[in-house]
Amino acid sequence: MLSNHFENGMDMARLAWSRLPHSEDGELDGVGLLSTSSNRNGVESLDYEVIENYAYREEQAQRGKFFVGYNVAVKWFFALLIGIGTGLAAVFINISVENFAGWKFSLTFNIIQKSYLAGFLMYILINLALVFSSVYIITHFAPAAAGSGIPEIKGYLNGIDIPGILLFRTLIGKIFGSIGSVGGGLALGKEGPLVHTGACIASLLGQGGSTKYHLSSRWLQGFKSDRDRRDLVTCGCAAGVAAAFRAPVGGVLFALEEVTSWWRSQLMWRVFFTSAVVAVVVRVAMGWCKSGNCGHFGAGGFIIWDISDGQEDYSFEELLPMAVIGIIGGLLGALFNQLTIYVTRWRRNYLHKKGNRVKIYEACLISVLTSVISFGLPLLRNCSPCPDSDPGSEIECPRAPGADGNYVNFYCGKDKEYNDLATIFFNTQDDAIRNLFSAKTIHEFSAKSLLTFLVMFYTLAVVTFGTAVPAGQFVPGIMIGSTYGRLVGIFTVNHYKKLNIDEGTYALLGAASFLGGSMRMTVSLCVIMVEITNNLKLLPLIMLVLLISKAVGDVFNEGLYDEQARLRGIPLLESRPKYVMRKMTAREACGNQKVLSLPQVVKVADAVSILRSNKHNGFPVVDHTRDGEPLVIGLMLRSHLLVLLQSKIDFQHSPLPSHSRSGSGAIRSTIFSAN
Amino acid sequence: MLSNHFENGMDMARLAWSRLPHSEDGELDGVGLLSTSSNRNGVESLDYEVIENYAYREEQAQRGKFFVGYNVAVKWFFALLIGIGTGLAAVFINISVENFAGWKFSLTFNIIQKSYLAGFLMYILINLALVFSSVYIITHFAPAAAGSGIPEIKGYLNGIDIPGILLFRTLIGKIFGSIGSVGGGLALGKEGPLVHTGACIASLLGQGGSTKYHLSSRWLQGFKSDRDRRDLVTCGCAAGVAAAFRAPVGGVLFALEEVTSWWRSQLMWRVFFTSAVVAVVVRVAMGWCKSGNCGHFGAGGFIIWDISDGQEDYSFEELLPMAVIGIIGGLLGALFNQLTIYVTRWRRNYLHKKGNRVKIYEACLISVLTSVISFGLPLLRNCSPCPDSDPGSEIECPRAPGADGNYVNFYCGKDKEYNDLATIFFNTQDDAIRNLFSAKTIHEFSAKSLLTFLVMFYTLAVVTFGTAVPAGQFVPGIMIGSTYGRLVGIFTVNHYKKLNIDEGTYALLGAASFLGGSMRMTVSLCVIMVEITNNLKLLPLIMLVLLISKAVGDVFNEGLYDEQARLRGIPLLESRPKYVMRKMTAREACGNQKVLSLPQVVKVADAVSILRSNKHNGFPVVDHTRDGEPLVIGLMLRSHLLVLLQSKIDFQHSPLPSHSRSGSGAIRSTIFSAN
């Protein structure tokens, strides 16, 4: 079937230096030669650089200078498309989530005016329906869209191809799945999935659309090499972060620090452009929504927690509680990573083996649990009287029914009372964080409520991690961090009575510290935190807590994404070899796996039998000097060999210059495009 | 003399994988074997990675795990020291410059109360004295400290070692030279020199101090490999930017985007730490200065032009004038690069060949010219009446004598008048920029004054570029850019009358556009501009003008630092090969230069004669297979060979395992530590 595509030798040659595109339904598996599906992990390494074999050079020489210009123009056009696409996807997800959640809360608040029990049931049912739709999409349509997707993207950008992560169905599953899971109130965020969404859009553009769904366009299929595709996915990843946090510079840095191991300044420049496009698209959409076209989508949605009117300055006595926040962040973050490892391993080995039905039950159970806790716990909490309102302040207490904001009146006896636990728990996460970060609301939350919330939400976040729904870790991390940050803030305000200290500042630092302790990012996280809070003055403090929390966390384990990538069998190559590797030889590293090599000229039958006999993805091509010493002259990839075999080209008489350079010492060419 | 250091074979071996440290007085030159001094450019390439030869591996094996921990601890300690050192150097330079300049202006203003001529002469004389001290230091003590130093540091971090750029005397010359040149009012800045200063501090720490000045310490000399030293210099470079602009994140990104080609995430983490240390040191020093301990050092000094009270929002009609600013920035920036190329080439070929005396005359002449223009032109300009003062505004008109701020009363007939040209020209550059950026001062500057200033200052900046004083291009670039930005702002305010537009916003965008058009940085410049203006809301606009100005500039030539590096003969390797190189072979690239190879065993006399006969820095070591085919088994560097020859070790009986692996195919070891 594949051989239809190759009518002449040049087409074959072109594929010989490109990669076999991922087919949506794995058509090659039938032949039984593709090792990837039978492999435990199904991963394959990508080429870091363009394979400069004869076919490539010949094609390049034919193209000439005009083609170079065309190629550059297409790359920039793609960067523009990625920016627009990711921006629109982010807007769509945000508007949907905000509308579902807003409708849910306003309905529940209306019902509890009459009956708390009916409201409780309605709340549970709506959440359950949303989560069920999400988990159903994931299990039956797009299994690769579960989780945050960042470990997989990180793997891809570090040279590991995992089947299925960048397909069209994954994109669709990710978008609609995260609307359901986030709208359904689970303890997870939509930021990680947006990064994955951006990467999918980029990859699909790079392939010229989805072939399975007949959405492909031939003139866009200019990107044949792994490097070009990886560059596009890098742009998509940055666009995802830029869209999720409205942090264009943070997006560039995230792609740079967290995910990409090979980076060139040209790429930075293009990634920067993509992020700028996203910023423009999102701004236009937000401007359009301001005129009331987007329903409940208003102050929430895109996470911008503006605290620019908060604490202006800080004194040196405050550095001690801030360092404490950093240490707590490192400890809790490392604990979070460790617990999620156990949970993920347990899920993989016991629970998820039993099939999709169990995954659906599990997600629904967690949804009910989350609903019960977030509705029930505030009921047990006594309401507090509203503080004397500052005439200059715009903060209402209690907030008007249906509005966003602080001071939620929930199950309170009197009118001028509010329920501090409901303010953070019975709310969308965006609003809860806005309330936790809010300045000039000292003593809004009691230590007891914060501690209750911290313990419950931390547990929920750990338990929710790894269910079969799209799930980001940023927002839950910010929730957890800002809760203990605000706790430390309460103690600081009580202890240093004279200083102009704001609890909201400590909540922000707590959020940064937990993310630092869990994800172990530094520069990008720092810039993201500054961009989403719109406050540059706290930058040195954010740097401080990030440094401390990362250092503390590093004592215990690796970053969340690294740990998760390892659990999923994605081999991330570290930038420096481990200490034990210093004296290792290649022979020892191979262990008892025997390297299979190919001669320079091989019969088809032999090649097929070699391919069938093992699962290696690469075979060294070995020649011999005149006196019999073996010489490695290149590496033949299984995928390239498959293309050659399937296209049934007469190898011996192919148009390639198979012996144009032979006899010049150790470097020889083979017909097998040794690279 | 050098041979004293090597008492046993291990010491020799260690040096065989380290680099010959730069001697302050070039002691090896006497032997006549060092090619670098006789080379036209005197550049040598550094090793990107650690040379893993037998000596290295043996030493590593001896050290064990404890040494790894110790090494990491030392690296972090050095990062701390670099941060503290660079921060203190920045504070020292800033306090000195501000005091010299403040004293100069207050003295001049006092004298012109009585006589404008006497004030004029005093102003010229003080400037002349400061510039003379600077150029004298540079020409007679530290010639490598001239210019900004960023092209050289960029070269170093891309693997090119230029003799003299990281010496102790360069550091001293840079610090005191830039105090003189900036304090003397030339059209240059102190930011580029601060980057060089940071790099010098880092390099000296890495060498364990300066051997010539007996400031070295043996226990700090742990960094033998080029990679470790390069990492330190990267930290120093970031620290320099962080200190110059008080932009810690910008510093990290500058090091990342502009200077370093090989980057690892571990390094990012350490660079981030260094920048954070700088931020803390500078903050502590500023706090100390607030209590009046630092003389004239007050609002100025560190360039923070706070425009956080400026324009809040922007409308889409404004995007057109902003795009115009981007285009102007690209054109003027590219023109600046091109003009400085001509000026630099002319200086190198005609002027500076005539010796130090001419360099001193030249700098003094430019100083007098600058003084005459900056004092004289405002005299020719008529004063404007002060605007009706807004009661809520804190801006005084005219400003109090001796204070900083807008609305300078200079050669005005009446009390309630100010001279708009003097406000920007007869002022320190920091204050001038603050005035140009200032919000809520619409119509302060007339278009005529701005245009006059733009033309004069642009010319001065071009002429000053390349004189033998430390000279940064950031502040002049910001001056030029903010002038035409404000010009566009004036037209925009007049055209779109209804919108809440602030001329200061356009000045900021102009500054960003000129720097983008000249230096062609994107992300780091963006973050630096945001950090120095303390206004995140303009980030998307800054991104927009940077994208346009860089794209326009790229049509004409390369970035300022790349062009200057090429002029100075620093070969920067681009990340992708040029189009013509696609079909080039190594033989063609060599041209008529013959490669000289060494056999595996060579006599001392032959080695010396080969070294004397040419200027190559590396020699392939060639062996032959049994049937006579040549096999390249490694590369021997001239510097390593020199160390071996100088230390007079008995090569044949060295303790190294010269044949431990022989006979295993194409990989063999030689005594010459083939790497």
**Residue A262 contacts B where some CB pair is shorter than 8 Å:** no
Least CB-CB distance to B536: which of A65, A275, A534? A534
**Residue B633 contacts A where some CB pair is shorter than 8 Å:** no
Q: Answer yes or no: is pLDDT of B375 > 50.
A: yes
C-alpha distances out from residue A333 to A149, A187, A444, A458, B44, Å: 19, 16, 26, 10, 46
Task: State mean pLDDT over B347-365.
Answer: 89
- Select from B225, B249, B539 the residue whose CB has the most chain A CBs within 10 Å, as the one to mutate to test that interface: B249
In this prediction, residue A82 carries a pLDDT of 95
Measured between its terminal Cα atoms, the distance across chain B in Å is 27
Measured between its terminal Cα atoms, the distance across chain A in Å is 27
Confidence of residue A486 (pLDDT cuts 50, 70, 90): very high
In this prediction, residue A68 carries a pLDDT of 73
For B284, nearest residue in chain A (alpha carbons): A316
Contacting residues for B550 by C-beta, under 8 A, at least 6 apart: A269, B330, B516, B517, B520, B522
Confidence of residue A223 (pLDDT cuts 50, 70, 90): low
- Percentage of chain A surpassing pLDDT 70? 78
Answer whether A130's CB lies under 8 Å from A184's CB: yes
CATH number of B72-381+430-577: 1.10.3080.10
Q: Could you tell me if residue A669 is left (phi over 0), alpha (psi between -120 and 50 degrees) or otherwise beta?
A: beta
What are the pLDDT digits (tens) for B429-440? 888 888 888 877
Least CB-CB distance to B266: which of A283, A575, A629? A575
Give the minimum alpha-carbon distance from A543 to chain B in angstroms, rounded to a whole number.
7
Query: Which of A46, A243, A42 lies closest to A144 in space, CA to CA?
Result: A42
Q: Is the Cβ pair B527, A522 closer than 8 Å?
A: no
Question: What residues of chain A, 41 to 80, have a C-beta less than 8 Å from chain B?
Answer: 57, 60-61, 65, 68
- Which of the two residues, B313 and B527, has the higher pLDDT score? B527
Rounded CA separation B165/B156 (Å): 9
Which contacts qualify for A284-288: CB closer than 8 Å, 24 or more apart?
Answer: A285/A87, A285/A88, A285/A91
Q: Answer yes or no: is pLDDT of B307 > 80.
A: no
Where b means 16+ CB within 10 Å and e means fewer, B617-643 reads: bebbbebebeeeeebebbbbbbbbbbb
Q: Could you state, in order of their start, the residue ranges of all structural domains in chain B?
A: 72-381+430-577, 590-658+665-673
Q: Is the Cβ pair A276, B544 closer than 8 Å?
A: yes
Q: Is the Cβ pair A269, B550 closer than 8 Å?
A: yes
For B260, nearest residue in chain A (alpha carbons): A265
Confidence of residue A64 (pLDDT cuts 50, 70, 90): low
Answer whether A469's CB lies under 8 Å from A186's CB: yes
Write the DSSP assignment of B82-129 as a string of letters: HHHHHHHHHHHHHHHHHHHHHHHHHHHHHHHTT-HHHHHHHHHHHHHH
Q: Is the Cβ pair A582, B60 closer than 8 Å?
A: yes
Query: Which of A187, A107, A177, A110 lies closest to A140 in space, CA to CA?
Result: A177
ipTM for the predicted complex: 0.75
In this prediction, residue B195 carries a pLDDT of 93
Mean pLDDT over each residue of chain A, to the nearest integer: 79
In this prediction, residue B640 carries a pLDDT of 77
Sign of the alpha-carbon torsion through A110, A115, A119, A125: negative
Q: Answer yes or no: is pLDDT of B224 > 70.
A: no
Confidence of residue A262 (pLDDT cuts 50, 70, 90): low
3-state SS assignment for residue A670? coil
Q: Could you tell me if residue A231 is left (phi over 0), alpha (psi between -120 and 50 degrees) or otherwise beta?
A: alpha
Contacting residues for A178 by C-beta, under 8 A, at least 6 apart: A93, A97, A134, A190, A193, A194, A469, A470, A471, A472
In this prediction, residue A511 carries a pLDDT of 94
Mean pLDDT over each residue of chain B, to the nearest integer: 79
Rounded CA separation B300/B94 (Å): 9
In this prediction, residue A10 carries a pLDDT of 44
Contacting residues for A142 by C-beta, under 8 A, at least 6 apart: A167, A169, A170, A172, A173, A174, A177
For B663, nearest residue in chain A (alpha carbons): A629
Rounded CA separation A105/A126 (Å): 10
In this prediction, residue B560 carries a pLDDT of 92
Confidence of residue A587 (pLDDT cuts 50, 70, 90): confident
Answer whether A199's CB lies under 8 Å from A241's CB: no
Question: What residues of chain B, 263 to 302, have a C-beta less than 8 Å from chain A?
Answer: 263-266, 268-269, 272-273, 275-276, 279-280, 283
Confidence of residue B33 (pLDDT cuts 50, 70, 90): very low
Where b means 16+ CB within 10 Å and e means fewer, A474-512 reads: bbbbbbbbbbbbbbbbbebbeeeeeeebbbbbbbbbbbb
Q: Answer yes or no: is pLDDT of A37 > 70.
A: no
In this prediction, residue B303 carries a pLDDT of 58
Contacts of A543 in chain B (CB under 8 A): 248, 272, 275-276, 279
In this prediction, residue A390 carries a pLDDT of 60
Least confident of A171-175, A198-202, B264-268: B264-268
Least confident of A436-445, B329-338, B541-550: A436-445
Task: State mean pLDDT over B359-369.
Answer: 94
Burial of residue B587 (number of CB atoms within 10 Å: 0-12, 13-18, 19+): exposed
Least confident of A136-150, A561-575, B454-468: A561-575
In this prediction, residue A269 carries a pLDDT of 80
Question: What residues of chain A, 241 to 260, have a C-beta less than 8 Å from chain B?
Answer: 248-249, 252-253, 256-257
**Residue A492 contacts B where some CB pair is shorter than 8 Å:** no
Q: Where are the alpha helices (DSSP H) in A497-626?
A: 503-519, 523-533, 539-556, 560-567, 586-590, 604-613
Q: Is the Cβ pair B543, A625 closer than 8 Å?
A: no
Least confident of A398-412, A495-509, A549-563, A600-614: A398-412
Bridge partners of A634, per DSSP, are A621
- Which of the two residues, B664 and B420, has the higher pLDDT score? B420
Burial of residue B652 (number of CB atoms within 10 Å: 0-12, 13-18, 19+): exposed
In this prediction, residue B428 carries a pLDDT of 82
Confidence of residue B288 (pLDDT cuts 50, 70, 90): confident
Confidence of residue A295 (pLDDT cuts 50, 70, 90): confident
In this prediction, residue B669 carries a pLDDT of 32
Using the 8-state DSSP alphabet, how is residue B603 labeled? -
What are the pLDDT digits (tens) for A78-134? 999 999 999 999 999 988 988 898 889 889 888 988 888 999 999 999 999 999 999
Using the 8-state DSSP alphabet, how is residue B472 labeled? B
For A65, nearest residue in chain B (alpha carbons): B579
In this prediction, residue A44 carries a pLDDT of 66
Q: Answer yes or no: is pLDDT of B647 > 60.
A: yes
Give the minimum alpha-carbon distance from A470 to chain B in angstroms, rounded to a whole number.
28
Answer whether B487's CB lies under 8 Å from B447's CB: yes
The secondary structure element, H or E, covering residue A631 is strand A630-637
Confidence of residue A23 (pLDDT cuts 50, 70, 90): very low
Q: Is the Cβ pair B276, A547 closer than 8 Å?
A: yes
- Which of the two residues, A602 and A458, has the higher pLDDT score? A458
Give the minimum alpha-carbon distance from A157 to chain B in angstroms, rounded to a whole number.
14
Task: State mean pLDDT over B74-78.
Answer: 88
Give the minimum alpha-carbon distance from A265 to chain B in angstroms, rounded to a whole number.
7
Q: Which amino acid is at A34?
A: L
C-alpha distances out from residue A339 to A333, A352, B596, Å: 10, 18, 61
- Side-chain half-sphere exposure of A662, counting CA atoms within 13 A: 11
Q: Answer yes or no: is pLDDT of B129 > 90.
A: yes
Task: State mean pLDDT over A272-294.
Answer: 83
- Helices B539-556 and B319-346, packing angle to 10 deg: 40
C-alpha distances out from residue B513 to A268, B168, B246, B317, B495, Å: 18, 36, 20, 19, 22
Write the DSSP assignment of B505-538 as a string of letters: HHHHHHHHHHHHHHH---HHHHHHHHHHHT-GGG
Where b means 16+ CB within 10 Å and e means fewer, A612-644 reads: eeeebbebbbebebeeeeebebbbbbbbbbbbb
In this prediction, residue A174 carries a pLDDT of 94
Q: Is the Cβ pair A531, B539 closer than 8 Å?
A: yes
In this prediction, residue A258 carries a pLDDT of 75
**Residue A522 contacts B where some CB pair is shorter than 8 Å:** yes
Answer whether A666's CB lies under 8 Å from A633's CB: yes
Task: State mean pLDDT over A499-524.
Answer: 88
Give the minimum alpha-carbon distance from B542 to chain A in angstroms, rounded to a whole number.
10
Q: Is the Cβ pair A625, B629 closer than 8 Å?
A: yes
- Select from B280, B520, B536, B597 the residue whose CB has the most chain A CBs within 10 Å, as the one to mutate to test that interface: B536
- Structurally, what CATH architecture does the domain formed by A590-658+665-673 represent? Roll (3.10)
Task: State mean pLDDT over A639-653.
Answer: 69
What are the pLDDT digits (tens) for B573-624? 776 677 677 677 777 777 777 788 888 788 888 888 888 888 787 888 888 7
- Which of the two residues, B208 and A549, has the higher pLDDT score? A549
